[in-house]
A and B are shown apart, each in its own frame.
Chain A
């Protein structure tokens, strides 16, 4: 270890003498490490975004949608068929042991009026469980009850944005608003959630009992009054997600009288899958960057090997002299290895800075969140050092095994 320091001093001197050459040699490593950093940043940015989205929806959530969806995301064969009903939701809650709660939900948009104010917003018809599953809290008032759902009660919960736009600071609880001319009593307001990671205002909503919504607001015909847009299911815990999906599939297939040869007429997705599918573009970018990184690191490594071979030849006499005054095989090996590693680490450090810059630019121009983690920086650093060791070894060995007399005589 005490020999590394003088070896580094010698290395820096040698690299300083040929500044331009050293810089050009480092270029491959710089680009390679920069790409590694950017790649990891894009990748972990995407992962983080998925996690935020999942967190904003609720934990351990599984969504059941009507119709089947192929692996490539194309919706097949749903047609006009109504495949999910409020009764399906009840059955799932009752018959699937891994399921904690099920909330059927249907969505629509509508104009809402209070006094002279009106506001266009999203309507969610659902059950009280929806708030538990999505982890939505109550700011003031109360949640409507299951009984309200069963009795088609005309009650509503308002998100903060709706409150702000309709009530001008007045207390909305107990007031009556009109949705498509139908009067609803406001029974509570929701704790603000802010923007979703995709930039949607999560507080611009009204939640109604699903029965009331279907019959009085969405205006679906009687035959379909029982059908719902989707089911939000919460598993008992992260480890139950897979089991819950399997149980739900079995229950739904039985309820829908599907033969073994028939495909599902519904789609079960856990949120992880849903959002990962959305992140394919950043995954493609990651793969591209990984390709650039590996090619650049190899090219950079070969560049280092090349320059080190040149350096060994140029300094043959110096090597001979060092051997004459007592340098052992190991000493010469260390000296040139340290020089190669210094070169690659220097390139690595510049590459890390460049990679951080590139990540920032990617988030600005491609609107992707990127995350440069200390782990990635450490990884890139170790990687560049390894490139130096790997590609520096052959030239260093060549130097160390020179015959002292031949080396001293070298012209």
Chain B
């Protein structure tokens, strides 16, 4: 079971802006096993997003090695990285990053457009994913007709569509209210526990981090602590006890 999905060894990332050099990561080593739910915390500018970009194969480290799912991705080309992102990684962003004037279903289908795998039932797959995140009946809505929480669900459905190995979420609840945040965390927990999907979440909120199994803290480009969460919170159970603040429909109409 304890198979390593991510092995990061002595990674550094240096940005050069004219005369200024920024050491965003100063030698980070980290291992993440398949099926884990990890939260990354740390003050602003500590290098969390930089690490997420490298883990997500959007960026390459200045030095050090990164092995994802047995493949040393530090040596891959631009297009090979795109292929890995397409096949193995699902991204969830703070600002949702949905295509405007495009239906929820088409947004979800997007990664399939660039997949080399057969795409016969592309649309059916998108509808199933939307159903899974609780957006059945909203398939044809455009992002500006959906609430923030609903948009983030669309983004999660999009991240799931290609059956990735890992979901990377950089501050996924940063733009959401607290109840909606718990709903999103409930989705992540369900994915992690029922489908065994590995999940990494960057967050500033300590209570959000407590839904994970392991919390990693950064400061000034260093990994400063790495601790298991002894008693993770259960988002689903909390939602049942929380009073429903407003019905889903009303929420959509106010947008």
Contact = CB atoms under 8 A, between A and B. Distances in A.
A197 interface: no
A321 B111 CA distance: 10
B58 A326 contact: no
A326 B91 contact: no
A325 B158 contact: yes
A3 B119 CA distance: 11
A285 interface: no
Given A325-B110, A328-B79, A408 B97 contact: yes
B79 A324 contact: no
B114 to A, nearest CB: 4
Given A329-B79, A405-B53, A324 B85 contact: yes
Given A6-B113, A323-B58, 13 more contacts: A17-B101, A317-B97, A318-B99, A321-B97, A321-B110, A322-B110, A325-B85, A325-B86, A325-B110, A326-B85, A327-B82, A328-B114, A408-B93
Main secondary structure of the interface of A (DSSP, over half): helix
A330 B78 CA distance: 11
A405 to B, nearest CB: 5
Contact of B99 (A321, A323, A329): A321
Interface in B147-202: 158, 162
6 contacts: A322-B114, A323-B85, A325-B86, A328-B78, A330-B79, A404-B58
Interface of B: 53, 56, 58-59, 78-79, 82-83, 85-87, 91, 93, 97, 99, 101-102, 110-111, 113-115, 158, 162
Contacts of A135: none
Nearest to B93: A408
A326 B97 contact: no
Contacts of B111: 325-326
Return the 7 tightest CB-CB contacts between A and B, nearest first: A326-B86, A326-B114, A325-B111, A328-B79, A328-B82, A327-B114, A321-B97
B59 A326 contact: no
A328 B113 CA distance: 11
Contacts of A398: none
Contacts of A408: 58, 93, 97
Interface string A102-119: 000000000000000000
A257 B111 CA distance: 90
Interface in A128-150: none
Contacts of B158: 325
Interface of A: 3, 6, 13, 17, 317-318, 320-331, 404-405, 408
A212 B78 CA distance: 94
Contacts of B78: 328-329
Given A13-B101, A317-B97, A318-B99, A325 B58 contact: no
A13 B87 CA distance: 27
Nearest to B83: A326
Nearest to B168: A324
Question: Which one of B59, B82, B102 has the highest number of Cβ atoms from chain A below 10 Å of its Cβ?
Answer: B82
A26 B114 CA distance: 30
Contact of B115 (A13, A318, A326): A326
Contacts of B115: 326
A317 B96 CA distance: 11
Contacts of B101: 13, 17
Contacts of A326: 82-83, 85-87, 111, 114-115, 162
A322 to B, nearest CB: 7
A325 B157 CA distance: 12
B91 A405 contact: no
B114 A325 contact: yes
Contacts of A320: 97
A2 to B, nearest CB: 9
B97 to A, nearest CB: 5
Contacts of B56: 324
Nearest to B170: A408
A331 B99 CA distance: 17
B59 A405 contact: yes
Contacts of A331: 113-114
A324 B83 CA distance: 10
A324 B58 contact: yes
Contacts of A404: 58-59
A359 B102 CA distance: 42
A11 to B, nearest CB: 14
A322 B99 CA distance: 10
Contacts of B91: 324-325
Question: Which one of A321, A322, A326, A329 has the highest number of Cβ atoms from chain B below 10 Å of its Cβ?
Answer: A326
Contacts of B113: 3, 6, 327, 331
A64 B52 CA distance: 90
B126 to A, nearest CB: 13
A111 to B, nearest CB: 82
Nearest to A320: B97
Contacts of B53: 405
B56 to A, nearest CB: 8
B178 to A, nearest CB: 26
Nearest to B113: A6
A320 to B, nearest CB: 8
A6 B119 CA distance: 12
A17 B59 CA distance: 32
A51 to B, nearest CB: 54
A325 B111 CA distance: 5
A322 B85 CA distance: 11
